Every structure is written in C-alpha cells, then in structure tokens.
C-alpha cells in the first residue's frame, strides 16, 4: 500500500521527465547558438500540441503521422522566425530577449484567437493501461515515454556523431573560431533553430493526449525548461537530461503530496541552484 | 544657455498646468479614468526603464506591481490598516523581495536574472491565486474602501472618494515617483548605471561594485512598481491574480522599447502613445495584443533610439534651422 503511493509518482515523474528532456534539449541547442534564451520556446511546444490535437483529435489522422507533422510544422515556423526576427537581433542580448518575449506574446494571443482560450482535452490515443505491483501506467504514457526516449537518443547521436551536430557544438563553443574554420554559421543557426523548435513541438505533441491543450500552456513550459537547463548547467547537454529527469520526478512527488503549490518548484529550483551551485549539476565554471 | 533654461521651465509649467487641468478638460468620468490609468502605466513604464538603464531586462515587473497592490489591499481589507501606512509597507516589501531576488541572481552574469524574473512573475500570480487568507484566492480582494482622507490642521480634510480626487492622488504620487527616478538617473548614480550598461567589464575594472548598483536599480524600480500596483488597487477598488500577468510585464517593455531608453521622456512618451493607440483599438480589443506584440518586435529591430530618439533628432534639426535663420536676420 505505502510502496505504491511512493512508487507511482516516481513512474509518472520518469515518463514526464523524459519528455522534459526533449524540451530542455531544444532550449539548450538554441541557447548555444544565440547565447540567449529563446523566450518563445513554450509557444513552439503549444503549437506542436495543437497540431497533434487537430490532426489526430479532429481529423483522425494517425497519431504517429500527426507527431511527424508537428515536428515539421513547428520546425518550419521556427526556422522562419529565426530568419525574420532573431537573426537581425543576433549578438545583442537585450534585443534578442525582447524579440523573444514579443514572439511569445504574438503566438500566445494569436493562438487564443484562432484556437479559442479554453483548455481542451484530447481523446486518449491508446486505451488501456499496464499494472505492475499495483502501479498503474496508461498506454498513452508508456508510448509517450518510449517515443521520448527514442528521440532523446536520436538527438544525442545527431549532436555527437554527425558532422552537422559537431558544427553546432563548434559554434556553441566559439562562434568566431568556428567561422574561421569554414563552418557556415548561418546554416548552423538554421539547423539548430529548426532542431530546437522541432523538439519543443514534438514534446507538445507527445504531451497533448495526456494533458489539456490550451494557448497559454507555453508560459509554464518555458519556465520548466529554463529551470531544467539551469539545474543541469547552462549549455550542458548531459545536464539537460539529468535536470529533466530530476524536475519530472520532483514535480510528480510534489503534485502528489503538496498539490497546487508544486507549480512553484521550477522557480525554487532556479533560486536554490543559484544560491548553492551556480554552475548547475553538470555545467562548466563560467 | 539662458534661453534653454527658459524654454525648459516654460515647458514644465505648461505640462503641469495641463496635468492639473485634466479633470476640467475631461469632464467625462470614463475619459478621466482612462487618463488616470495612463498615469499609472507611465509610472510603471518609467520604473521598468529605470531597471533597464543598467542593461538588465526584467520580465517580472507586473509581479512587483501585484505584490504592492495585493499587500496594500490585504492590509487595508483584512487588517484594517490605514491606506498610507499600507502604501509604505507595500513599497518596502516589494523592494525587499527585489533585493533578495536581485542579490541571488545578479551576482552571476548571464541569463539568470531574466529567467528568475520571468519565473517570479508567474510564481507571484500562482501564489496569490492559491492563498485564500488574506489574499482571497482566485477571486482576489474586492470592494476596497477609498483611501483615507488627509487631514491637515486648519484646512478642510482632503477626501479621496471621487474619481477626480483619485486622479489628483495618482498624479501626485506617480509624478513624484517619476521625478525621483529622473533625478537619480541624472545624478552620479545614474552615470554609473549607464557605465555598467555600456561596458560592465570596464566598470568592474575601475572598481565599481556592479552587482551592488544593479541590485540598487532593481530595488528602486520595483519599489515604484509596487507603488503603481497600490495606485491601481486604489483606483479599481479590487485586485485579482489575473490583474498582473507576464503579458502585463510585456506591456511595460513595449512602452520602453517604443519610447526609447535614452532618458526618462522615452518611456513616458511610449506609454502615452501606446495607451492612446490602445483606446483607438478598443473596438477590436481582441487584436490589440497582436498589434502590440508586432510593434514591440518592430520597435526593437527597426527603431533603435525609440520615438524619443526621433523627436530629439527632429528638434535638433529645427533648432539648427532657427539658429541659422536668426543669424541671417542679424
């Protein structure tokens, strides 16, 4: 009895945590290219969620196809926004931040006009659940966890094993040196931004059947993603993975035992990290 | 030099006269209410700009207005405290919270301050929404009494029950806040802020405690944000968690970005122009945020000095022309 109360949140937390990793990886990749947080990151997550909501929930398109569409659509919007809005502001922190909040504002209110402001639930894609030692996990959550794990692995392979991934790492470490070595920094920016936004979009699509979908869902998502990368160490890719899992689990226990006040956890995590270990768990010293 | 001073003085006198005469010029109570809120927005825009003069962007400014408004409302409604003490306590509390957050996040360069202020703004909304006693949960605090009358011996008591008296109260408090921040900006402290914004490494190397100054700017700005929140509750008579959201913080940024950040007139002009635009957009209210978001992005990318930059360039051209014309006449 007590064991399942203690283990159930852990299982939920791990599943959500793996999806958080996708979000945090997206934010980290964009951060390493622009050197500034993309404040519209949560809105790309929201767009991904709505894409799946409309494709699968209303048009009855196959769920996995809908997920694929959400990646492509959101990545395309991201690349477009990078070209039009972020590239002219690049290199200057304050304009990039303000452009980010402008885009967040724009996408959020446009979504409210187009999709309606009220939260909407999507029908679960996979009915049924698995029970083990009295711990329940719905099929939707299992599928979400598996897709997220596969994608996290794919992103790792991309960043560490492919030429484009190495180019992103090079730009992140030293933009000027990367340029002098003949790396097309503009192209890296496009790929990195597309990847980052696509990851946010697919994370939204993965979460859509499990949680409500609403235009304002991006704000809390952004704050969660930011707390993960600060916890893991800004710019650190293994850190994003560790931070994602920790936030998922801590938040899951918090919601079970403390309820609503668990929404303040990301903020508390940010403050605690800054007080006790400014570089985060796996970050390099500045 | 003399001519300039004379010009400046007459400009201020005319401006003050217009501000004092507003209730006579706008007898319509709706219009007067709109102008009162404009003044509050100007105060909030100026306090947001004041923090930005050190090169920091705060995304939690509405959160500090909420702290001020909520604290003063709760002290008055639940604990029967007088309005003026509650105003003071609300401002000091907003300043103290800003001190703690600033002290933790401004020690380290980087994204931390932006991230923390953004998260703080949301947390404040959630906390006030979840806290039933004394903050009233999601309903908030309703039916606040009008501020206490000021009684000075030998004079009739100054009551604040009418819209007109509330306008004058808002005018006096907002104006004093704006003037204080303007004077600070023109003082040596303001020059240090400017130095930090332009080259913080250099400022640090010549021995300036840049963290201390950044925290100072943040604390002062947030105290006046708290004052703005209190003025809001005085005028509306209630406060809800939805009164001050992240989007509200974005409004203050757009005021500064459109007006320009070089001096205090930038945020003032930005807030006035956009508030008037907002009135014109009232028939299509639901599209207003989209218009404003596009204006914000456009202003940052295209309008480097803001409107005030344009005005100053024009003014310089005109005075050059008049000087040339008058020298020709001689």
pLDDT digits (tens, 9 = 90+) for B56-72: 889 999 999 999 999 99
Average pLDDT over residues A240-267: 88
Q: Give residue B2's pLDDT.
A: 57
With H, G, I as helix, E, B as strand and everything else as coil, classify residue B300.
helix
* A97 in contact with B, Cβ within 8 Å: yes
d(CA B256, CA B262) in angstroms, rounded, equals 10
d(CA B162, CA B146) in angstroms, rounded, equals 9
* A36 in contact with B, Cβ within 8 Å: yes
d(CA A121, CA A49) in angstroms, rounded, equals 11
Read off the pLDDT band of A285 (50, 70, 90).
low
Chain-centroid distance of CA B20 in Å reads 20
User: What pTM does this model have?
Assistant: 0.88
CB of B64 within 8 A of CB of B94?
Answer: yes
- pLDDT by residue (tens digit) across B82-104? 888 889 999 999 999 999 999 98
CB of B51 within 8 A of CB of B114?
Answer: no
Residues in contact with B167: Cβ distance below 8 Å, sequence separation at least 6, in sequence order = B22, B23, B32, B35, B36, B39
* B247 in contact with A, Cβ within 8 Å: yes
CB of A280 within 8 A of CB of A231?
Answer: yes
A254 belongs to a structural domain: yes
Q: Contact A105/B123, CB-based, under 8 Å?
A: no
- pLDDT by residue (tens digit) across B105-133? 888 777 788 888 988 888 888 888 888 77
d(CA B64, CA B177) in angstroms, rounded, equals 15
Share of residues in chain B with pLDDT > 70 (%): 97
Size of interface A-B (CB pairs under 8 A): 113
Domain that holds residue A10: 2-276
**How many structural domains is chain A composed of?**
1
A283 belongs to a structural domain: no
Residue of chain A whose Cα is closest to the Cα of B249: A101
d(CA B292, CA B277) in angstroms, rounded, equals 10
Residues of A in contact with B57 (CB under 8 A): 94, 97-98
Is A153's pLDDT higher than 70?
yes
Q: Give residue B199's pLDDT.
A: 79
* A110 in contact with B, Cβ within 8 Å: yes
Q: Which of A94, A108, A226 sits opposite B57 (nearest CB)?
A: A94
Share of residues in chain B with pLDDT > 90 (%): 30
Q: Contact A99/B297, CB-based, under 8 Å?
A: yes
d(CA B257, CA B306) in angstroms, rounded, equals 6
Higher confidence at residue B206 or residue A113? A113
Q: Give residue A32's pLDDT.
A: 83
Residues of A in contact with B130 (CB under 8 A): 260-261
d(CA A12, CA A137) in angstroms, rounded, equals 8
Q: How far is CA B247 from CA A77, B130, B243, B300, in A?
A: 22, 20, 10, 17
Read off the pLDDT band of B205 (50, 70, 90).
confident
Q: Give residue B271's pLDDT.
A: 92
Q: Which residue has the tokens 């040339």?
A: B324
Chain-centroid distance of CA A220 in Å reads 11
CB of A44 within 8 A of CB of A243?
Answer: no
CB of A16 within 8 A of CB of A155?
Answer: no
Q: Give residue B330's pLDDT.
A: 60
Q: Give residue B138's pLDDT.
A: 78
Relative to beta strand A135-138, strand A129-132 is: antiparallel
Q: Give residue B329's pLDDT.
A: 65
Q: Give residue B230's pLDDT.
A: 93
- pLDDT by residue (tens digit) across B165-177? 889 889 999 999 9
Read off the pLDDT band of A258 (50, 70, 90).
confident
Distance from the Cα of B205 to chain A's closest Cα (Å) equals 18
Neighbours of B311 (CB within 10 A): 16
A285 belongs to a structural domain: no
Vertex A137: Cα angle to A135 and A140 (nearest 5): 180
| Contacting B residues, span 127-166, partner chain A, CB-CB under 8 Å | 127, 130
Alpha helix (H) residue ranges in chain B: 2-25, 29-52, 61-77, 83-105, 112-130, 163-186, 188-198, 200-205, 210-236, 246-259, 265-280, 288-302, 306-329
Share of residues in chain A with pLDDT > 90 (%): 31
A81 belongs to a structural domain: yes
Q: Contact A223/B118, CB-based, under 8 Å?
A: yes
Residues in contact with B104: Cβ distance below 8 Å, sequence separation at least 6, in sequence order = A271, A274, A275, B116
Q: Give residue A91's pLDDT.
A: 67
Average pLDDT over residues A89-113: 86
Q: Contact A31/B111, CB-based, under 8 Å?
A: yes
Q: Give residue A198's pLDDT.
A: 94
- pLDDT by residue (tens digit) across B297-312? 888 888 877 888 888 8
Q: Contact A286/B109, CB-based, under 8 Å?
A: yes
A159 belongs to a structural domain: yes
A134 belongs to a structural domain: yes
CB of B243 within 8 A of CB of B138?
Answer: no
Q: Give residue A1's pLDDT.
A: 57
* B16 in contact with A, Cβ within 8 Å: no
- pLDDT by residue (tens digit) across B260-292? 888 888 999 999 999 999 888 888 888 888 898
Which of A107, A117, A221, A270 is the best mutation test for B, with the most CBs of B within 10 A?
A: A270
DSSP class of B141? B
* A245 in contact with B, Cβ within 8 Å: no
Higher confidence at residue B153 or residue B319? B319
A282 belongs to a structural domain: no
Read off the pLDDT band of B142 (50, 70, 90).
confident
Nearest to A100 by CA among A32, A175, A26, A36: A36
CB of B57 within 8 A of CB of B114?
Answer: yes
Residues in contact with A243: Cβ distance below 8 Å, sequence separation at least 6, in sequence order = A24, A227, A228, A229, A230, A231, A232, A233, A280, A281
Q: Which of A39, A99, A274 sits opposite B108 (nearest CB)?
A: A274
Read off the pLDDT band of A199 (50, 70, 90).
very high
Instruction: Supply A203's token pair.
Output: 């994370």
Distance from the Cα of A187 to chain B's closest Cα (Å) equals 22
Q: Contact A105/B55, CB-based, under 8 Å?
A: no
Instruction: Supply A120's token pair.
Output: 């909407």
Question: Which helix (H) or strand (E) element contains residue A129?
Answer: strand A129-132
* A91 in contact with B, Cβ within 8 Å: no
A55 belongs to a structural domain: yes
| CATH code at position A139 | 1.10.3470
Average pLDDT over residues A106-121: 88
Q: Give residue A118's pLDDT.
A: 85
């Amino acid at each position: 009895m007590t064991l399942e109360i203690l283990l159930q949140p852990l299982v939920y937390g791990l599943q959500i945590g793996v999806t958080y990793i996708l979000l945090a990886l997206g934010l980290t990749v964009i951060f390493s290219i622009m050197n500034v947080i993309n404040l519209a990151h949560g809105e790309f997550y929201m767009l991904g969620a709505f894409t799946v909501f409309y494709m699968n929930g209303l048009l009855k398109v196959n769920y996995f196809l809908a997920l694929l569409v959400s990646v492509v659509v959101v990545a395309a919007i991201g690349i477009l926004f990078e070209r039009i809005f972020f590239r002219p502001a690049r290199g200057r922190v304050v304009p990039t931040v303000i452009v980010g909040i402008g885009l967040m504002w724009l996408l959020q209110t446009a979504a409210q006009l187009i999709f309606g402001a009220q939260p909407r639930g999507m029908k679960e894609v996979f009915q049924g659940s698995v029970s083990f030692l009295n711990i329940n996990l719905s099929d939707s959550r299992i599928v979400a966890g598996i897709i997220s794990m596969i994608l996290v692995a794919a992103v790792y392979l991309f960043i560490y094993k492919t030429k484009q991934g190495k180019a992103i790492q090079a730009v992140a470490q030293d933009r000027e040196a990367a340029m002098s070595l003949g790396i097309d920094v503009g192209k890296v920016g496009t790929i990195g931004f597309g990847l980052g936004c696509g990851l946010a979009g697919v994370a939204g699509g993965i979460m859509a059947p499990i949680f409500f979908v609403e235009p304002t869902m991006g704000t809390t998502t952004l704050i969660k993603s930011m707390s993960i990368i600060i916890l893991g160490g800004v710019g650190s890719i293994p850190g994003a993975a560790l931070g994602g899992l920790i936030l998922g689990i801590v938040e899951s226990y918090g919601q079970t035992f403390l309820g609503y006040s668990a929404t303040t956890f990301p903020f508390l995590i940010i403050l605690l990290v800054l007080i006790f270990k400014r570089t985060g768990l796996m970050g390099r010293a500045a | 030099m003399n001519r300039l001073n004379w010009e400046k003085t007459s400009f201020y006198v005319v401006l003050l006269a217009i501000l004092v005469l507003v209730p006579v010029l706008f007898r319509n109570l709706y219009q007067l209410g709109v102008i009162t809120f404009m003044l509050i927005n100007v105060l909030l825009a100026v306090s947001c700009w004041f923090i930005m003069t050190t090169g920091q962007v705060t995304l939690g400014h509405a959160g500090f207005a909420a702290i001020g408004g909520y604290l003063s409302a709760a002290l008055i409604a639940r604990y029967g405290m007088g309005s003026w003490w509650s105003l003071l306590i609300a401002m000091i509390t907003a300043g103290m919270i800003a001190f703690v957050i600033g002290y933790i996040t401004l020690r380290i360069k980087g994204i931390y301050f932006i991230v923390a202020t953004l998260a703080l703004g949301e947390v404040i909304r959630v906390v006030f929404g979840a806290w039933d006693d004394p903050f009233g949960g999601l309903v908030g605090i309703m039916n606040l009494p009008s501020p206490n009358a000021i009684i000075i011996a030998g004079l009739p008591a100054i009551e604040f029950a009418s819209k007109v008296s509330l306008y004058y109260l808002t005018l006096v408090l907002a104006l004093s806040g704006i003037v204080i921040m303007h004077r600070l900006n023109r003082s040596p402290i303001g020059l240090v802020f400017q130095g930090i914004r332009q080259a913080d490494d250099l400022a640090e190397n010549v021995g300036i405690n840049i963290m201390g100054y950044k925290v100072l700017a943040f604390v002062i700005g947030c105290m006046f944000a708290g004052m703005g929140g209190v003025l809001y509750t005085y005028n509306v008579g209630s406060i809800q968690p939805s009164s001050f959201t992240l989007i509200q913080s974005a409004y203050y940024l757009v005021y500064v970005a459109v007006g320009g950040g070089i001096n205090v007139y930038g945020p003032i002009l930005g807030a006035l122009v956009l508030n008037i635009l907002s009135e014109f957009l009232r028939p299509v209210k639901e599209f207003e945020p989209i218009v404003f978001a596009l204006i914000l992005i456009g202003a940052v990318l295209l309008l480097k000095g803001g409107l005030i930059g344009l005005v100053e360039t024009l003014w310089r051209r005109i005075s050059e022309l008049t000087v040339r014309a008058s020298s020709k006449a001689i």
